């Protein structure tokens, strides 16, 4: 059976089954099952599924979208600006510590979803009651993270391309400061943070390649023997695939990775351990 991936407003995506065996095509709009009604979205992917894949999907594609449906969804989008303004007024009245991010009106009008960010959990039961009294429909408030906020608004990263979270990343994976350290990147927040204020997702993209390069290479600060002389490893250049070292006189030498590995340089001491230094004397712990 076909599994259809549908995209809704602000890159929200869900999976549906084509149980009615409709002729579906990527790029076409269709009407699907929604919470207590129907919703409308655009098809972005169609694949064949079986077994457990199908068991996890409960909703289905109902029909193709018509011209009337297209006009109806446009009207729903036009109502969203007013809904967001009203909700903001209610938030201010209740003095809730939350930032409204976006609003989405369901195609059939049976539900309005407000998205917000907050540093803590919010008791918004009174707010929901007030909004339900105004809009006479079901109200859903969803707290999202700053990464999800960036995804919904989209944008351009410091690389000059569209945000990865708005294009191809489906699920956010943990990104740590250690990833930046292992790639010899500057730890300046402005240089390794995305528009969301968190560490950039792309820090994880090439991490394994950096780890492969560093296999067998002593860490920065280690003392090694090279061509009969003792050096200290200063840093590695992943792009030129070289190791930069300094001697006891202060001079530096840049050695290709392969030469370095073939020579099987011996680690004499590592930073932070009681080993011998450049001159053969004991080096105390830092």
Find the Cα–Cα–Cα–Cα dihedral 196, 173, 199, 218, rounded to 10°: -170
The phi, psi pair for 247, rounded to 5°, reads -95, 180
Give a yes or no: residue 53 inside a domain: yes
Token reading at 212 = 């492969």
On the question of pLDDT at 4 being above 80, the answer is yes
Give a yes or no: residue 211 inside a domain: no
Give a yes or no: residue 249 inside a domain: yes
**Rounded CA gap, 70 and 77, in Å?**
11
Give a yes or no: residue 113 inside a domain: yes
Per-residue pLDDT of 54-108, as tens digits, reads 888 889 999 999 999 999 999 999 999 999 999 999 999 999 999 999 999 999 9
Domain at 103, CATH number:
3.30.300
On the question of pLDDT at 129 being above 50, the answer is yes
Give a yes or no: residue 11 inside a domain: yes
On the question of pLDDT at 30 being above 80, the answer is yes
On the question of pLDDT at 120 being above 90, the answer is no
Per-residue pLDDT of 224-282, as tens digits, reads 777 777 888 888 777 777 888 888 777 888 877 666 556 544 444 444 444 444 444 44
**Rounded CA gap, 53 and 40, in Å?**
23
233, 239 in Cβ contact below 8 A? no
Boundaries of domain holding 251: 216-278
Which residue among 13, 43, 65 closes a domain?
Answer: 65
How large is the average pLDDT for residues 15-25?
A: 93
Q: Give the count of domains, the chain.
A: 4
Q: Is 233 helix (H, G, I), strand (E, B) or coil?
A: strand
CB neighbour burial string for 191-209, b if at least 16 within 10 angstroms, e if fewer: ebebbbeebbbbbeeebee
Per-residue pLDDT of 73-87, as tens digits, reads 999 999 999 999 999
Give a yes or no: residue 153 inside a domain: no
Give a yes or no: residue 97 inside a domain: yes
Q: What is the pLDDT of residue 273?
A: 46
Mean pLDDT of all residues in the chain? 84
């Amino acid at each position: 059976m076909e599994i259809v991936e549908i995209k809704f407003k602000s890159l929200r995506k869900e999976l549906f089954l084509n149980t009615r065996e409709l002729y579906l095509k990527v790029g076409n709009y269709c009407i699907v099952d929604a919470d207590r009604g129907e919703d409308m979205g655009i098809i972005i992917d169609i694949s064949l599924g079986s077994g457990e894949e199908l068991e996890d999907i409960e909703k289905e594609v109902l029909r193709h979208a018509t011209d009337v449906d297209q006009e109806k969804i446009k009207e729903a989008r036009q109502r969203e600006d007013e809904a967001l303004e009203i909700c903001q007024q209610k938030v201010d009245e209740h003095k809730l510590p939350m930032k409204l991010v976006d609003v989405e009106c369901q195609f059939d009008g049976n539900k309005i979803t407000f998205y917000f960010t907050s540093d803590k959990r919010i008791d918004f039961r009174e707010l929901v009651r007030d909004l339900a009294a105004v809009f006479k429909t079901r109200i859903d408030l969803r707290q999202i993270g700053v990464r999800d906020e960036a995804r919904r608004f989209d944008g351009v990263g410091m690389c000059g391309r569209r945000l990865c979270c708005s294009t191809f990343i489906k699920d956010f994976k943990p990104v740590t400061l250690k990833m930046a350290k292992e790639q010899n990147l500057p730890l300046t927040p402005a240089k390794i943070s995305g528009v969301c204020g968190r560490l950039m997702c792309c820090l994880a993209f090439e991490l394994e390649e950096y780890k492969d390069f560093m296999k067998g290479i002593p860490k920065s600060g280690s003392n090694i023997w090279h061509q009969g002389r003792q050096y200290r490893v200063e840093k590695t250049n992943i792009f030129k695939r070289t190791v930069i070292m300094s001697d006891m006189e202060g001079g530096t030498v840049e050695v290709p990775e392969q030469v370095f590995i073939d020579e099987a340089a011996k680690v004499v001491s590592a930073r932070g351990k009681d080993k011998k230094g450049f001159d053969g004397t004991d080096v105390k712990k830092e």
